[in-house]
Chains A and B, each alone.
Chain A
Amino acid sequence: MADLALHSVEKTFGALKVIKGIDLDIRNGEFIVFVGPSGCGKSTLLRMIAGLENVSGGTVEIGGKVMNNTPAPQRGIAMVFQSYALYPHMSVRENMSFGLELSKTPKAKIQERVDIAAGILQLEPYLDRSPRELSGGQRQRVAIGRAIVREPEVFLFDEPLSNLDAALRGQTRVEIARLHARLGTTMIYVTHDQVEAMTLADRIVVLNGGEVAQIGTPLELYRNPANAFVAGFIGGQQMNFLTPEQAARALPDTALPDGTETVGVRPEHLQQVTGGGIEGTIDVVEEFGEYALYHITLDGDALPSVTFKSSATGVGAMGDRIHLRADPQHIHAFDAGGLALSVPTRH
């Protein structure tokens, strides 16, 4: 059981600085998700924690000990890779016991741990099969099983679900959440998918270009994004960004803070009105059953399109005109640098 701390961690590949000084304190037992667009350095950061990548600057501490130069197997971590990375020539059982065997764990003990992990992951019927004979979801479970038998202090996951189809992804997500509840071990989970981040994390670390954009609980990030990047990245649908002029029309009675350059409104926080507000034409309607998304081209040139989410009927069809207002309790104001300004009407 271990806390994990990063102090000014940096990584450079040749002349390219990929991780630009990251500070992070992870409490024992936390489920932390690193989320961010592709190429922002999530995997690199995770691999530095794992000991698969040298640390160019700063320190990585696990359980209070600096681990910068400790080889991976001695860090008390286990890693689940995106491609599962199973040993193709070994059976499921051999895959799970390989690490224990290398560390000269007694045979009986290996057997016991593999059986327990197989039980947790419902892998008992497959123990003697080759990974080739398993489905993607089963392979992923073997990869997780291989991590469990190491009894690590920290689990590291690098986009473990991105090779699964949508239905299986949802299911496996829940299984991982269950696993965390059951084992109570610290987990660090990398994903580019904000849904996985929101649903799994105790705290999310949003990364952008090798820097921390914001750290917080899922709801903190959803309600109070610290900047336009986080606002745009977190949330079921991309946030709408309006100019101050558009915002003045969408929010007739609301004073915006000084220096507001853009105003963010989530699609679910727009409301249809019969007249006034911002006005435009519906381009595309995406019907999800429980709600629909309306993609609207606004009149005028600046930031011309917004998305409106509604579960009401009769909102309109493609080509219809529509008037919208924003809910003043749920708006976000950003200055020229994209930093969030506090909005008085927001509670």
Chain B
Amino acid sequence: MQKSGKSWVSPWLSGSVPVLIVAAIPALIFVGVLLYFTGWALMFSFTNLELYGRKATEWSFVGLDNYERLFTRRGFLESLWTTLNFTFFSAIIGQSILGFTLAAVLRNMYGGVRSVLEVSLMLGWLLPDIVAAFLWSATTSKTGLVNQLIVIPLGMEPVNFLNDYALPVVILANIWKGTAWSYLLYSAALDNVSKEVVEAAKVDGANAWQRTRRVILPIIKPHIGTNLLFITIWTFTYFPLIYALTGGGPGSKTEVLSIFLYKQSFGIGKLGYGSAISVAMLVIVGVMSLFYLRLLKEPE
């Protein structure tokens, strides 16, 4: 390929460089702001900056103290474990598998059932987190719908689900809330799988399971990678629904990293430590993303 001075722009745009520069300004500002905040967090993660009091103004550099604290103090590792559980079960297992299953099943269905299911999926997605949290806490409380409809009629003691099974409830709520995205993405991916290829596999003698595992899933592997990348990042840093539903409790049973970070930074006011937590989260998400990006690459 020829390397000319303008080869970095597509031929469509190369004639209008001034327009391009004007269009690039917002993007540059955006990138600049992003870098500024990241740099800010990185810098203050090496300080003892606090939100209130003397150390709010007279902070000083403390070296790696904050990072050491991540591993020596109670909190971070437990919270990381909770977050990994939450992410794994609600996003990777729940949303992704349920979303794929729904996409695969519903695409062969028409009419009422499909519409009802699609609308309810979308409702979960579109409902504001706070409203969703209220719904879930009302449904799972001791006097809530689940107890009224299922537990009590079965002759059992009503259960306060949000207290006794906090993490599972939060996971379920997030599956309910987020599956629409995976459903939409996998529906689009399945539209791209040629019908004739699937029929060829049928003629070749593949049953439904073999067609899915040996033909459809490998073909949509890049889409699976994209989806896992997105939902992992979102879920790993997810805050509002959990916070509104449990506030991280009972105890710290549902205290995922975002809530831990919030409490350390704005509850206790340790901004330096909070910055270190956010940098650690960034690193963990980054590593996971690299893993998915490898999935995303075309085979060979």
Contacts and interface: CB of A to CB of B under 8 A. Distances in A.
Interface of A: 50-52, 72-73, 77-79, 81-83, 85-89, 98-99, 102-103, 130, 146, 150
Nearest to B210: A102
B218 A98 contact: no
Contacts of B206: 98, 102
Interface string B267-300: 0000000000000000000000000000000011
A72 B202 CA distance: 7
A73 B264 CA distance: 62
Contact of A102 (B199, B205, B221, B300): B205
Given A72-B202, A73-B204, A73-B205, 14 more contacts: A50-B203, A73-B203, A78-B203, A83-B196, A85-B197, A85-B200, A87-B197, A87-B215, A87-B219, A88-B219, A89-B299, A98-B204, A98-B214, A146-B204
Contacts of A103: 205
Nearest to A50: B203
Contacts of B221: 89
A346 B112 CA distance: 62
Nearest to A83: B196
A88 B197 contact: yes
B199 A85 contact: yes
Contacts of A78: 203
B244 interface: no
B204 A52 contact: no
B101 interface: no
Nearest to A77: B203
A41 B196 CA distance: 17
Nearest to B217: A89
A99 B215 CA distance: 12
Contacts, number: 57
Contacts of B205: 72-73, 99, 102-103
Contacts of A89: 218-219, 221, 299
Contacts of B51: none
A65 to B, nearest CB: 18
Contact of B201 (A50, A83, A98): A98
Interface of B: prevailing SS: helix
A270 B56 CA distance: 103
Contacts of A88: 197, 219
Contacts of A51: 203
B198 to A, nearest CB: 8
A45 B231 CA distance: 44
B200 A87 contact: yes
20 contacts: A50-B203, A72-B202, A72-B205, A73-B202, A73-B203, A77-B203, A78-B203, A79-B200, A81-B196, A82-B196, A83-B196, A85-B194, A85-B197, A85-B199, A85-B200, A87-B197, A87-B201, A89-B218, A102-B206, A146-B200
A152 to B, nearest CB: 9
Given A85-B194, A85-B196, A52 B201 contact: no
Contacts of B199: 52, 79, 81, 85
A102 B204 contact: yes
Nearest to A79: B203
B193 to A, nearest CB: 9
A52 B203 contact: yes
Interface in B207-263: 210, 214-215, 218-219, 221
Contact of A52 (B194, B202, B210): B202
A295 B200 CA distance: 45
B219 A86 contact: no
Contacts of A50: 203
B191 to A, nearest CB: 15
A72 B211 CA distance: 14
A27 B142 CA distance: 74
A145 to B, nearest CB: 13
A78 B206 CA distance: 14
